[in-house]
Amino acid sequence: MKIAPSLLACDFSKMGEEIQKIDKAGADMVHLDVMDGHFVPNLTIGPAIIKAVRPYTKLPFDVHLMIDYPLDYIDAFADAGADIITFHIESMSEPNMTIQKIHDRGLKAGLVIKPGTPAEMVYPYLDKLYMVLVMTVEPGFGGQEFMEDMMPKVTAIKSECKKRGLDVLVEVDGGISEKTISAAAKAGVDISVSGTGVFKAPDTAAAIKTLKNS
């Protein structure tokens, strides 16, 4: 199980230091939530912030685009230092073109599905993906409760990949804590995003270690 702390829960006044803290604490990647105020009812960060914090770590930047038109912004986020770009199947951009654009920039591509979207929606694209992100909360705000009823989607996607001989990672995001991560692990999750569970913990290193052990 890889742990990707979400900067959505960090202290935005010292993002660079917060990234260094999770790097030293054993995080596997950094999860950056990009929201446009249209696709989800929240506004967060853009390419300029990602570019500013990129020098603080060598960990992969897992950039989750919760925006209406991801295709239009692939170059901007690639230039800012993204390693993985995930975007929503429910967005307005054509998935194949968006995946191709991500690959053209030499980055790994991922598709995201909201809680109300069936797992089967990503099946036509699995052979082109590095990961699928299954949202375990409604995207938009941190600190929400984990939706364990999303785990059958994880199992279904892993099963479909195995059937087709594909090595696609499955990530979950939302409400991940030491109490919920074991359900994710049992379902076959490879990467867990945790914001509040890491950044609001008294000891960051202990929190990440506990998540991995749980």
In the residue annotation, 173 being an active-site residue is answered as yes
Distance CA 201, CA 214 (A): 15
Residue 140 Cα distances to 36, 70, 99, 143, angstroms: 10, 16, 23, 10
Q: What are the backbone dihedrals phi and psi of residue 81, each rounded to the nearest 5 degrees, phi first?
A: 120, 15
Distance CA 187, CA 181 (A): 10
Catalytic-labelled residue, pool 104, 173, 190, 203: 173
Q: β-pairing, 84-88 with 108-113? A: parallel
According to DSSP, residue 145 is labeled P
DSSP sequence for 100-144: HHHHHTT-EEEEEE-TTS-GGGGGGGGGG-SEEEEESS-TT-SSP
In the residue annotation, 33 being an active-site residue is answered as yes
Q: β-pairing, 191-194 with 30-35? A: unpaired
Amino acid at 165: G
Catalytic-labelled residue, pool 11, 33, 72, 149: 33
- Write out the catalytic residue numbers: 33, 173
